[in-house]
Amino acid sequence: MKRREFIGALGSAVALLPSGGIAQQRNTPTIGVLVVGAPGSDRFWQLFRQDLRDLGYVDGQSVSFEFRSDQGQMSRLPELAAELVRLKVDLIVVWFTPAARAAKQATRDIPIVMALVGDPVGSGLVESLSRPGGNVTGVAAAGAELAGKCVDLIRELLPSAHRVAAVANASDPFSRPFLEQVQLAGKASGTAIDPVMINSATELDAAFLAMERERLDAAIVQPSLPTKLVAALALTHRIPAVSFVRSVAEEGGLMSYGPDEADAYRKAAIFVDKILKGAKPANLPVEQPTKFELVINLKTAKTLGLTVPPILLAQAQEVIE
């Protein structure tokens, strides 16, 4: 066979080979996702995937996901984070502080993107918001000061409230700044704060029974607790429940005030895009929420026999009726 004929035949054979036969197969990035099993993680996962899709990352085509949830058992987070590291994912997205800490402890090399993580500096996740310095960056929650804002909202709706429970997740490192801010706001407004430490979801039933027995006026709930169960128990024991994640209000709590989650997840998706295109987490300043939303469950208020002041209703971005 002449040289020209041989080259032409070789070219035809290459053209018939499946994609990746001789040429290097396209490298599709794999994103690990690690979440605390609170009901709000479902909304995060739905919105975040859509945000990535809008940026051109289509599951099964231009990206693949390894999704892990602790299913309400935070003790499993280190194991799940280690599993993602063993799978050699290109990046890990974390939702809430316990998941972020587990991922940080599992790897110092794989980039980690936070999607609403409380107090990343105080938790040791980043050196500072402007200079993260390691393999972690993303979107921080507004901070524990929102817990204090919840005290103000309770007093605005219930001016006679004088005792409020601060229901904290003992296994979440964010519980300390959460309780500190609630105590500070309580002191400033003349409201007595009763800390209620929860070590396991199995303790919640007895905790709310005790709150009812003690005639507490309301409860501020740390977001990493199982909010669906918390909202149900609060209704059963007729205790107005407030938090800074909207899932509390959606599941039957009285109200929530916190970051606009859709906006925060969109920003987290942009961090992922930048890192997959070559940016280093250490060089990407952590962002803080700039949009906030007040959600009031008017149906719950009526069930509890509460009248929501018109001025508070006017401030709400969403009213559930």
Partners of 296 in beta bridges? 255, 319
pLDDT band at 143 (very low <50, low <70, confident <90, very high): low
Q: Is domain 30-142+260-291 in CATH 3.40.50.2300, yes or no?
A: yes
The distance of Cα 244 from the centroid of its chain, to the nearest Å, equals 11
Query: How much is the average pLDDT of 272-291?
Result: 96
The alpha-helical segments, DSSP class H, found in 138-226 are: 145-157, 175-189, 204-213
Q: Give the predicted TM-score (pTM) of the model.
A: 0.84
Please give the Cα distance from 183 to 175 (Å, whole number): 12
pLDDT tens digits for 79-122?
999 999 999 999 999 999 999 999 999 999 999 999 989 889 98
Kindly tell me the burial class for residue 121, based on how many C-beta atoms sit within 10 Å of its own C-beta (0-12, 13-18, 19 or more).
middle
pLDDT band at 27 (very low <50, low <70, confident <90, very high): confident
φ, ψ for residue 31, nearest 5 deg: -105, 120
Query: How much is the average pLDDT of 237-261?
Result: 93
pLDDT tens digits for 190-240?
999 999 999 998 999 999 999 999 999 999 999 889 888 999 999 999 999
Weakest mean pLDDT among 70-74, 95-99, 168-172, 180-184: 70-74
Query: Superfamily for 145-259+293-320?
Result: Response regulator (3.40.50.2300)
Reported in sequence order, the residue ranges of the chain that DSSP labels E, i.e. its strands, are 30-35, 64-69, 91-95, 112-117, 136-140, 163-169, 192-198, 218-221, 241-243, 255-259, 292-297, 318-320
Q: Say yes or no: do domains 30-142+260-291 and 145-259+293-320 share a fold.
A: yes
Q: Domain residues of the chain, as ranges?
A: 30-142+260-291, 145-259+293-320
